[in-house]
Amino acid sequence: MGRPKQPQQLLELKGTARKTRRRIEAMVGMKITNFDQVAALCDYTHLTDQGQRIFIRQCTFLIGMNALQAQDLQLLLIYAQNYDIALRCMEEINSGKAWFTLTKNKRGEIVAIHEFPYLRLFRKACTIVNSIGGKFGFSPADRIRMAEPAAQKEKTDIMDISADAIEI
């Protein structure tokens, strides 16, 4: 439906290619080995300064582990943005405002309890950060869980070698 899609090379020749409109299909499986490739593939300037620092730090961490691929950049942008939101919400929460406000009727009875909006936003941002961070192994528990299948495979390889040695 709509106009037929044009190849990326043709868009670049015309001068109408944009980083934000790159097709993810062309980047699938592409390993990223330095941050210059990250800057060429995605636009992260819409993040705040703190969000950009988080994005750069996590990209360099994954590049160092040789685990960053082009299709991961969009998830990392979401991760950095929500991490930044969580940190800004934490500053608001720690500013001394009440976490809950009470609504009372004319007789002084509590009718409703309203949660501080930054607290609710903090919880949502932390949920997103934890779910995306778990996919990349950003927490120690996730790194251990990701390393277990490799360790299990290594044990089975050793068991196969020792079983072959016994049969001989």
pLDDT digits (tens, 9 = 90+) for 71-115: 889 999 999 999 999 999 999 888 877 777 888 888 888 888 888
pLDDT given for residue 42 in this prediction: 86
pLDDT given for residue 3 in this prediction: 77
Cβ-contact 37, 63 below 8 angstroms: no
Interatomic CA distance for residues 73 and 31, integer angstroms: 11
Q: Say if residue 154's pLDDT is above 80.
A: no
Cβ-contact 78, 114 below 8 angstroms: no
pLDDT given for residue 84 in this prediction: 96
Q: Say if residue 51's pLDDT is above 90.
A: yes
Beta partners for residue 110, in sequence order: 104
User: For 27-31, 138-142, 150-154, which range has the lowest pLDDT when averaged over its residues?
Assistant: 150-154
Q: Say if residue 19's pLDDT is above 90.
A: no
Q: Say if residue 20's pLDDT is above 60.
A: no
- Exposed, middle or buried: residue 39 (CB in 10 Å: 0-12, 13-18, 19+)? middle
pLDDT given for residue 161 in this prediction: 57
When the pLDDT of each residue in the chain is averaged and rounded to a whole number, the result is 80
Cβ-contact 22, 70 below 8 angstroms: no
pLDDT given for residue 114 in this prediction: 84
Interatomic CA distance for residues 129 and 134, integer angstroms: 8
Interatomic CA distance for residues 103 and 111, integer angstroms: 6
